[in-house]
Structure 1
Amino acid sequence: MKHKIIPMIVCLMLCVALMPAAAYADNAKTTPAEPPGIWTDHAAAAFAGGSGTAEDPYQIATPQQMAKLAADINSGDESKKHSGEHFKLTADLNLSAHRWIPIGSGDLSLRHYNFSGYFDGNGKTITGLYVDESQSGFCGGLFGIVYGYEIKHLTVKDAYVKKDAKNSYDYGKIGILVGAAWGSKGSEINIKDCSVSGTVESKGNYTGGLVGDSHRGIYENCTADVKVTGSHSTGGFVGQDDFGTYKNCAARGDVSGAKTVGGFAGFLSDESQVNRCAAFGKVTASGNTAGGFVGMITHLGTISNCAAFGDVVSTVEGVEPQAGGFTGYIQHSTISNSHAAGTITVASSRYKAGGFAGETYYDTGEFHSSSFDIEKNAGLQAIGGETPADTDGVETVPTQTVKTNICKDYYGKHILKAVAERPATCTEDGHEAYWKCENCGLLFADENGTQQIEKPEVIPATGAEDPGTGEAAAAPAKDNADKFAETGDDSNVVLYGILALLAAGGAAGMLYRKRKA
């Protein structure tokens, strides 16, 4: 029996080594348990220092001091509103001990409190944020309602924000950083250099990864890596926006909702402007109007130099899905130098998806120098609906061209990674050093991406004499040499070598025991 154990173990090791690594990956995010109590019951008596001015901001160094800010704002005490005052985070905070009551609590349709100051995250990170506004139906996030003026340099990591709808219209918006941000003309809210990650779940409207509902906000260099589930107006970055400005922002999580669902924004209106932003996640909608980047854009909105990387799936059958690779619906708005790289799928048998836009209102959507992937969406035209059509300004191009367009218009350059030179051996060709774009896969002979090549320069095998035969050793098969030259990846060779050694060891063990017996 012992003689059979080692070969069995070796075989088992071979099977395990050859199984796909994905079989062991568990990327599913579980819902965290609600922590006991609320943070405002544990608020500190004072901040760590400061007087609230720009030169001497209030300092926040502990979760209890952060809870004091929330307790002050939500108290309704005019002397604790902190309007126009400055705050600075001086340490990383872990808020997992208790449930968080947002800074600025309430429902926009009823009495509410708001933060109207300046918050500098100072490059620090907040973890353990748990918000559940299901009972009250208020706006949810680290900040609930913000009326001004600035939030910057802050990371909120692995947060969980939840809310149920309390009525049919539902004024309680949610996002990880801010539930509802409301500025005014000439006094816009500025949110910059902020990053959030985690999960947002809502049965209500206006749900976003970073912010739920925004009016006259300016967002720069912000990222939301959030799994978002909502109802109407649901987006990976923002649920609903009007008169907003977005620059160099990205949404990376998957998004699902009922109606008006987008990878970056659910609904953009009233001169919303978006430039050099991207949506990377998959979009799934159970109702109409879904887009890889934005569900709906109306009333003189503009989007330029943006990209939608994710797939779009519409499961609605009874109505027109209005599903497009970039936008679900466009009205009196303009999209330029923007591209859709995903696959679009609709359940409807009567209506077609649009490779770029699900529907344009009486041809009032204007497009310039944009494209979608026709290889992934064979048979689709730029605009979907009952009578699909192509349109000026949107090209139907193959996968490689879409990727190249994204490099040019969204990234503004190729994202190059160096592949080191591989010296030739006596039996194997090598290759010169080269650079490969991590987005589009094109190869270049120089680090600036100006000399495109089909494959790297081959360094021929030396063909040194085999000491056993006195003849030149044979070079490897050309297809293998080309593969290594193109990818610079010989990890499979190493793996197979290890497996061969294991197998040889098992065989040797069996032979030894057989002879011994």
Structure 2
Amino acid sequence: MKKRILSIVLTLCMVLMLVPTTAFAEGITPATPQTDTDGVYQIGTAEELYGFAQLVNNGNTSASAVLTADIIVNKGVLKADGTLADDTSGFTSWTPIGNKSNRYTGKFDGQGHTISGLYFNDASTNYVGLFGFLYSGGEIKNVGVIDSYFVGWGQVGGVCGLNDRGAITGCYNTGSVNGSGSNVGGVCGYNAGPITGCYINNGGVYGKNASIVTDCDVKSDEEFANSTVCKLLDTALQNASSDVRFCQRIGKDASPLLTYQFDSIDDHTDDNPKDHICDICGERLSDHTGIDENPKDHLCDICRETLSNHTGGEATCTAKAECEYCGAEYGELDSSNHTGGTEIRGAKDATCTEEGYTGDTYCKGCGAKLSIGTAINMLDHNLEKISAKDATVTETGNTEYWQCKDCGKYFADENGTDEIALDDTVISKLPPEIIEGKGQSITAGEKKELTFKSNAAFSDFIRARLDGKTLDEKNYIVKEGSTIVTLKADYVATLSAGEHTIGIVSESGTATTTFIVNAKAVVGNDTKSPQTGNNSHMTLWIALLFMSGAGVIGTTVYGKKKRAK
């Protein structure tokens, strides 16, 4: 372990010796960074960061680079409340890496380092951020942008202004991002490529999205400081099969650091839980102590890993066995060792319509069913005899039947075996008859009311019919007692001579009778009088009439002459 710490310290010293002095004054002079054997640019200063941006924006869009140190461009760009510093006159402006004409397609790996103090303030410019334009095949990962300020028109993001099918992984931004146009986001302004495991402390992860965004979120400054974001970044890196890990000293580091930036193992945290492993980055810090004294619980006193097994005790259906060594419960419940007594559930009394049930037996301790109950036969019906009743014209009758007083069912026999419906017992009402108004007669054209009385109940009345046709209700009056129908005089006067049949229709049937309308007698030379069809002696009758008149006249004259003599 001491050799490892010494190695880390020596490595850090060598890096510090190689890092050139960073300029923070306005007008940083870009410097082209060195490359490793694979041609990857090694960026460790603000000058080299500006030099890399210049190199890409001049056409070398596929250049790849890594950060070898945290880089500070300007100090105090943002105030404590996250707003822009009052005096910006001394800030060096930033030129985003990549633009619409020079779209970045290389690989940029921050290796967990941060870039601080970027300042860009031009509300008329598009493609603004640490990177302006990330194109297909390009990649940005493992970099944090802090204490920075970006203002543009559209496609403005803390890490990248526009991502066109590139990939952004394990990045975060706690700076300020604003745009007077559209597509403004904390990580990426307009995104059309995968973003994984990236976090910001205000606004949205992206302004507009047209691709897949995974494990990204907005986190507070407190979550950046308390290692929440650090752990999320590590998860994203682990899912991406990366060996890089972030860690953080709670209360000291405002944002995540790489594990190799720690001075000693003591910088790690092993509190929740104490498991010999750093709670934040997952690095193993120590081994088991092997002691089990406080308390005696078979567990390592530091990490609580099991060192021995439980023993002894007896399990029941409700409680596990209790260890004779540590007093803790262990193992499984014994479903065959019941305790707490028994109880009956589901018992039901028999009725005349359903069987009963004795109920099942259950353990009161665990609720398990111990035995199954049995059925109880149905009870006999509690029958009441209903005597037969003859039907009348006004009331239905019924046959003899029996009804159960308990369940209400009906039966045709006294033993309650032949169940019937109540309708099966009903005897229909008797057919009605005309009891008053039979045999009436009138003369054709005579205005006279005709009244007929049916012995049917008034409540059963349906309609009146004459000669088989339904009468219009305006032509008659119906009233109670039993059912009395009176044909109106005006209507009667319209009836033709002859025999007519009236019917009073009720629910129980139709009561009918007839009446006669006589033809008018012939008066004078009334050619309109009804003809009987037999006028063969009409001349004889007229001759007799004249002869009778002559006889009367002759007798009268003779009498007067006799008295005169």
Q: Do both share a fold (TM > 0.5)? A: no
Q: Which TM-score bucket, shorter chain as reference? A: 0.3 to 0.5
TM-score calculated relative to the size of structure 2: 0.32
TM-score calculated relative to the size of structure 1: 0.35
Of structures 1 and 2, the one with the larger relative CO (CA 8 A, separation 6+) is 1
Larger strand percent: 1
In our comparison, the structure showing a higher alpha carbon Rg is 2
